[in-house]
């Protein structure tokens, strides 16, 4: 496992890490025993960093991580997120009292004394611009409740704004072959500022595995069913903001990336890791097989300069116009 620096936090984290939204809920049925086996498998293979949030399964993902990492707290780093338990548009949601309580609640569920990375969970831009929440996070950091803090953002504009906040040590962004806008300005600016970049939805909710057909259906409790058009939250969080049928059609044109790389999953993750500015990718998982498949990227060859240019042209000419939602 290759390790990369998480900004200026002093932490070195596995370049393939994992997100735990799927094992908490909103991705269909889960099995706790299988989730724990998958977490163990990831750690056995050198994964030392996991991303979660207080709303994933109403704290379920945090509790599963506490069980899986018991006795390994000094070796396995955890990032969690806050604010979506409240009204994200209400400034009071970001008051010291509310944030402090959410932080304490996450610490209890994680069974830890310090959160390695505490992230604002996709707050509206107007809240970020008001700035009060950063002062609260500074205080929690000074008290040792959190080691570092960052922001999970929806748009490049939000990311660039947060990079100007001196206390922000990491950004979590949506970035994949279907969503390449961060390349031009956000990636180099983050590197210049020494801020870590966590890549969520690296497989575009599964589109970039190449396994879906246009008539695929998803369970009612799966966000790929109930949020296909942004009915519940930002449409960009589901299939990278692409209409599902269009996403399947576009994915079918990418079969060539798997040549010599095993499959599209590994190739899509490899493309992301080719960017030195990226700290880690955090794909989701629900079972051991998915963990193992994602970790296969570690033995996957990088893309050539010509292949990178081919994928940039593909994005510009065939993908970008179809993306919906804030970006």
Question: Which residues are part of the catalytic machinery?
Answer: 56
Structural element, H or E, at residue 281 = strand 280-281
Single out the residue of 207, 221, 313, 318 nearest to residue 264, CA to CA.
Answer: 207
Structure tokens at 135: 């002062």
Q: What is the C-alpha separation between 240 and 289, in angstroms, rounded?
A: 24
Contact (Cβ atoms closer than 8 angstroms) between residue 198 and residue 280:
yes
211 in helix, strand or coil?
Answer: coil
Q: Six-digit token pair at 120?
A: 């604002």
- What phi and psi, each to the nearest 5 degrees, are found at residue 32? -60, -40
Neighbouring C-beta atoms of residue 71, cutoff 10 Å: 7
* Beta pairing partners, 120: 82, 151
Cα separation, 310 vs 313, in Å, equals 5
């Amino acid at each position: 496992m290759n390790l990369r620096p998480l900004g200026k936090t002093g932490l070195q984290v596995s370049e393939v890490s994992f997100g735990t939204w799927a094992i908490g809920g909103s991705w269909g049925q889960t099995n706790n025993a299988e989730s724990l086996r998958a977490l163990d498998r990831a750690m056995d293979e050198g994964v030392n960093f996991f991303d979660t949030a207080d709303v994933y399964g109403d704290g379920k993902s945090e509790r599963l991580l506490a069980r899986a990492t018991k006795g390994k707290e000094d070796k396995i780093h955890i990032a969690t997120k806050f604010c979506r338990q409240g009204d994200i548009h209400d400034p009071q949601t970001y008051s010291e009292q509310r944030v402090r309580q959410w932080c304490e609640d996450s610490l209890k569920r994680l069974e830890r004394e310090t959160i390695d990375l505490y992230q604002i969970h996709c707050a509206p831009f107007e809240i970020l611009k008001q700035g009060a929440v950063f002062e609260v996070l500074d205080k929690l950091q000074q008290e040792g409740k959190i080691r570092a803090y960052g922001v999970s953002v929806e748009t490049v504009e939000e990311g660039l704004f947060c990079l100007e906040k001196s206390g922000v040590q990491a950004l979590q962004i949506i970035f994949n072959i279907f969503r390449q806008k961060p390349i031009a300005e956000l990636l180099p600016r983050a590197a210049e500022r020494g801020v870590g970049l966590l890549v969520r939805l690296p497989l575009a909710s599964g589109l970039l595995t190449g396994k879906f057909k246009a008539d695929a259906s998803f369970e009612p409790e799966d966000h790929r069913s109930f949020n296909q058009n942004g009915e519940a939250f930002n449409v960009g969080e589901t299939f990278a903001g692409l209409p599902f049928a269009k996403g399947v059609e576009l994915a079918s044109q990418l079969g060539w990336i798997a040549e010599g790389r095993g499959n599209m999953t590994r190739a899509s993750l490899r493309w992301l890791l080719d960017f030195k500015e990226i700290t880690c990718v955090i794909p989701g998982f629900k079972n051991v097989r998915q963990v193992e498949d994602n970790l296969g990227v570690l033995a996957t060859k990088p893309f050539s300069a010509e292949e990178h240019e081919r994928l940039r042209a593909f994005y510009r000419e065939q993908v970008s116009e179809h993306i919906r939602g804030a970006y």
